[in-house]
Structure 1
C-alpha cells in the first residue's frame, strides 16, 4: 500500500486547527517539532487533567484527504489542518490499518499508528453539525470514528507535501484500531 502526503500542519498553541506549512520535522519519541502536542507524556489538555504522566500516544495526528472531500460533499468546507491534523494523506485507508502499522513518510520519518482519534464536541464549534459526520453509530449500533488516526514517531525527519507514504503492516494477528 502506498499513498502520499497532501499537506503538513502544526501549531504551537493548544487550539483546534493547525496552520499548514511547507514542511514539518518529526522528532523520534516526541512528535512534531514546534507543535503543542510534542512530548513523551500526553499533551492533550483533557488527558493531562486525567493523568499527566500517561504516555503520549497522540504525537502525530493523520487524516485522509478523502475524509475532507466526503464532508465537503455534505456541505462542510474543511481544509487541511483545520481538524487539528499534522499530516493529511491521500490514497490510504488510514482507518482500516491495524494497530502497530508503521508509515514511512518521505525519506526518513517513520510513525507507528496507535489508534483512532476520538473526536470531541470542539468539532461542532468549528463547523456546527460536523461531529455527526466524523463519529456516528453504524447499523449494528457500534460507534464509528472517522476523524483520523494517531501515531508516535519512531524515526524522525522532515515531511513535506508530495512525499510518498509507505505502509508496513505489523505481524499477524492484526489488532483493529481503538480510540486513544
Structure 2
C-alpha cells in the first residue's frame, strides 16, 4: 500500500531532504519529516509555502508531478496592487510568458484568507495596496504563478499552494504533516 504524506512546507525551506547548495545550512524536509522512503512529488520553491505531497510510490509520484496528467493545483497569492477584472480575464485566457502561452487558469479575487503569519513577513509598502487571488493551474512551469501574476501587472508578494487535485492544506500549520490512506 502506497504512503502519501501531505506537508505544509514553510517559507524558506528547500523541497528536498538534503542541502547540497551553499556552505550555510538551509532548512530541508528532513527538519520536519522523519519518514524513510518517501520523496516529494514535485517541487515548491524555497520562497513559496504550502502543500507538498510526498510518497513512496513512483507511479503516484509521477501522476502528481508530471504535467501531462494536468492535475490542478490551487495557489493563494498575495499580489501587489488591486487586482483588476482585466488582469483576471488575462489569467483565465492564458498569459504569454518567455517560454510560451500558459494554459487558461481559474482565477478569482478573494478576501484575505487569514493564513498563518509568514516569517519573515512580506515587504509592505504603504503607498501600494495589495490583494489576494486564487489561481488554479494545470501545468507546472518553473515559478509559473509568480511569472503569470507579474505578466498581468501584479507581482506576487506571498505564494501559498493550497490544493493539489483533491488534497488540501486544510488543518495543517507550517511544518506539520499528516498521512493519507491510499
TM band (smaller chain): under 0.3
TM-score normalised by the chain length of structure 2: 0.24
TM-score normalised by the chain length of structure 1: 0.24
